[in-house]
Amino acid sequence: MAKAKTKLHIQNKQTPQLTITNNKLKLCLSDMKTIKPLTDNQKGFFDAYEKSKVSLLHGVAGTGKTYIALYHALDEVLDKRNQYQRIVIVRSAVPSREIGHLPGDEKEKTEVYTAPYVEICQDLFDRPDAYTRLVEQKAVQFMITSFVRGITLSNSIIIVDECQNMTDMELNSIMTRVGPRSKIIFCGDFRQTDLYKKTDMSGLKKFMAIADMMPSFKTFEFGTGDIVRSSIVKEYILARLEYENKYETN
C-alpha cells in the first residue's frame, strides 16, 4: 500500500536538466531537489549519514524515514565521485509473503510494493517517470526478500524498508548479503507489523537487540514529535498510543 508523501523543506539545486546518454534520458544529481531536515532526529541522521555504514531508522509512521533514506542514497549513487554504483531497495511480500500466486511476471507482481518509491522519486525529481528512469539507468534496483539468498550486494546502498514485516530469517538473510564497499539502511517500526502475531512474528525486535551489540551499528529513533506527514496523522498516532497504553498494556 502506497505511503502518503512526506513533506520536507525543499530547495532546488538548479533548474532540472537531463543528460542524453545512448539516446535515453538519464537523470543526474543536478536534477534532484535538495531537502533539509525538519526535526532534530532527522538532522541527526543527516549529520551521521556519510560515516554510517549500518543504520536503522526506527519509529512511528509519518516521520519521513524512507524518504530521507532514499534521498541520501540517491545523493550518493548519482554522484560519480563515490564508490556506490546502485541503490537496492528490499521489501518483504506482505501480507502474501510469497508472490507466486499474483498475476503477471515478476515485474508486474512487485509493482504494488514499489509505489512508495515511485512517489518519492517523482517528488525529488519533479518528474512522474523519475523512478522508471532511475531503474533503466541501473541506479535503482528493487528486490523482494524471496530472491535475496545466494547473492552478494557489493558497491551498493541497500535500503531495507518496512523491516518490521520481515521474519528473523529474512533479516538474517539480508544482513549476510552485504558485500564490500556497501552500506545498509533499515527502516521500520515494530509496532506497525503486518505479520500475524500468532503465526509469523516480526524479527525486528531480535534484530535490534543483536544490532545493539555491533559497534558500527547506529539507531535513529523517531517519535511522535518527528511526525511530518500531516497533523491528522500525528493526532491519530498520539491517540492510538494513548489507547494502547491505557487498555492494552499488561
> Domain residues of the chain, as ranges?
12-191+211-248
Q: Give 109's pLDDT tier (boundaries 50, 70, 90).
A: low
Res 195 pLDDT > 80: no
Fold of 12-191+211-248: Rossmann fold (3.40.50)
Res 7 pLDDT > 70: no
Residue 10 grid cell: 525543499
- For the beta carbon of residue 245, count every other beta carbon within 10 angstroms: 9
pLDDT (tens digit, 9 = 90+) per residue, 29-51? 999 999 999 999 999 999 999 99
CB crowding 103-127: b at 16 or more within 10 Å, else e: eeeeeebbeebbebbbbbbbbbbeb
pLDDT (tens digit, 9 = 90+) per residue, 60-106? 999 999 999 999 999 999 998 999 999 999 998 765 445 555 566 66
Q: Nearest to residue 36, comparing CAs of 50, 47, 22, 28?
A: 47
Residue 168 grid cell: 528473523
pLDDT (tens digit, 9 = 90+) per residue, 129-154? 999 999 999 999 999 998 888 899 99
The per-residue pLDDT for 222 is 96
Cβ contact 228:8 at 8 Å: yes
Note the pTM of the prediction, 2 decimals: 0.83
Write the DSSP symbol of residue 5. Answer: P
